[in-house]
Structure 1
Amino acid sequence: MQKNKPAKVPVHGPQHNRQVRIIGGEWKRTPLPVLEAMGLRPTPDRVRETVFNWLNHLRGDWGNLRVLDLFAGSGALGYEAASRGAQHVTMADANATIVRQLQTIQEKLKATNVTVLRADALALAQSLAGRAQQFDVIFLDPPYQQDFLSRVLPLCAKLVAGSGLVYAESGEPLPAEDARPEWMAGWQVVREDKAGMVHFHLLERAAP
């Protein structure tokens, strides 16, 4: 029996010459175009493989997990989670061209477990917290040079479920435990690693 080929995702908007691929699950090997947009820097395959191995080990069945991707970009993290069977994935980006591309991918894949929103990450986090919505996994992969992490991580305290995890990617390591800034209060690092210039971490709420 011939194996189904990954869906080909058409490209709209600015020309690009880069792509990443979904590395596991239902849509494994499906290419995701990477548009030329300021600050757009998809999480490398090696990093995603490590992170999803961590998540599989720590949380197990994706079918029970609600996921929030606040800086969706190429969709590499959000669609990876959806491909692996996440109950639902909410993906957001402030760039209209990027959002149209994510919607094109969603339609092509018939990803019924994905919602794509055009929204500012900080405003959306505040809105979701105000509606008492919570998620089991939150992806934070913001542009490195704009200090988003220090502003959005405190908002995630109300968004992450009791046993939930936050993935935080940055261009430098998070401060050491004995030098944690106020914006990291109440969080503890459960996994961390580095690949090239990418520092990546899994965080959970510290026990009171």
Structure 2
Amino acid sequence: MTRIIAGSWGGRRLATLSGATTRPTTDRVREALFASIASELGGWNGVRVLDLFAGSGALALESLSRGAEHADLVESNGKAAGVVSRNIRELGAHDARLHRTTAERFLAAAPAEPYHLVFLDPPYALETSALQKLVARLTIGDWRTDDSLLVVERSSRDPWSWPDGVDALRDKAYGETHLWYGR
């Protein structure tokens, strides 16, 4: 069971897609992730969130529950996008917007406003080099502010290094899951 951990929707359950299509971030990892984010952002007021591989939408919706201003959720898998849409609707997340497209296509257009927090939690099968290209795209143009926080979630077995333009802050492994934080 996946649920919102804290904030205005704390304790509310989220629908997830069963099977190998998505891999929801566990509550334990999300709890640690959001504790780290809170210390880096210094609060949620005015925070705009981009979740490039939304899955169930748990990361972006947790951010909104804690007080983020807006979240764009990008999901290319039709079934997963249906789950995200359902979670947005059931929570009444009016500040969430689902984009049914690939991360590459979404990043091909200019953003309406920069993002303060970007989640990149792709399927583990996505090649590291492909993910690095997406992160590099975020360093061009108006995708982020100078102090935006980028969070990558990958398998602990996959190597990760930030492309030019992103400074590594820290990383932490939680069993099979590894989180990298960059600015």
On the 8 A contact 1:160/1:166 being kept in 2, the answer is no
Q: Structure 1: how far apart are the matches of 2:19 and 2:81?
A: 12
Aligned counterpart, 2:147: 163
Count of matched residue positions in the alignment of Structure 1 and Structure 2: 178
User: TM-score, length-normalised on structure 1?
Assistant: 0.80
Q: Structure 1: how far apart are the matches of 2:18 and 2:153?
A: 20
Aligned counterpart, 1:194: 173
Taking the TM superposition and a 5 Å limit, the aligned residue runs for 1:146-161 are 146-147=126-127, 148-158=130-140, 159-161=143-145
Aligned counterpart, 1:14: none
Taking the TM superposition and a 5 Å limit, the aligned residue runs for 1:47-86 are 47-86=29-68
Q: Deviations over 1:40-63 (max 9, x none)?
A: 101111211111111111112212
Q: Structure 1: how far apart are the matches of 2:71 and 2:159?
A: 26
Q: Structure 1: how far apart are the matches of 2:2 and 2:41?
A: 25
Q: Structure 1: how far apart are the matches of 2:13 and 2:111?
A: 35
Q: Structure 1: how far apart are the matches of 2:51 and 2:180?
A: 15
Amino acid at match of 1:185: D
Aligned counterpart, 1:9: none
User: TM-score, length-normalised on structure 2?
Assistant: 0.90
SS class of match (1:169)? strand
On the 8 A contact 2:15/2:86 being kept in 1, the answer is no
Amino acid at match of 2:125: Q
The structure where helix makes up a greater share of residues is: 1
Aligned counterpart, 1:145: 125
Mark the runs of 5 or more structure 1 residues left unpaired by the alignment: 1-18
On the 8 A contact 1:138/1:165 being kept in 2, the answer is yes
On the 8 A contact 2:153/2:179 being kept in 1, the answer is yes
Q: Structure 2: how far apart are the matches of 1:64 and 1:36?
A: 33
2:108 corresponds to 1:126: yes
Pairwise CA distance, 1:24: 0.8
Pairwise CA distance, 1:163: 0.8
Q: Structure 1: how far apart are the matches of 2:61 and 2:179?
A: 18
Pairwise CA distance, 1:174: 4.3
On the 8 A contact 1:34/1:74 being kept in 2, the answer is yes
Pairwise CA distance, 1:132: 6.3
SS class of match (2:15)? strand
Amino acid at match of 1:28: G
Cα RMSD (Å): 1.7
Aligned counterpart, 1:185: 164
Aligned counterpart, 1:117: 99
Aligned counterpart, 2:74: 92
Amino acid at match of 1:145: A
Pairwise CA distance, 1:32: 1.1
Mark the runs of 5 or more structure 2 residues left unpaired by the alignment: none
Computing the radius of gyration from Cα coordinates, the structure with the larger value is 1
SS class of match (1:86)? coil
Moved over 4 A (4+): none
SS class of match (2:79)? helix
Say if 1:185 and 1:60 are closer, same or farther in 2 by CA, change over 3 A.
same
Aligned counterpart, 1:16: none
Pick aligned residue for 2:27 from 33, 36, 45: 45
Q: Deviations over 1:172-201 (max 9, x none)?
A: 3644xxxx5xx6122221121000011101
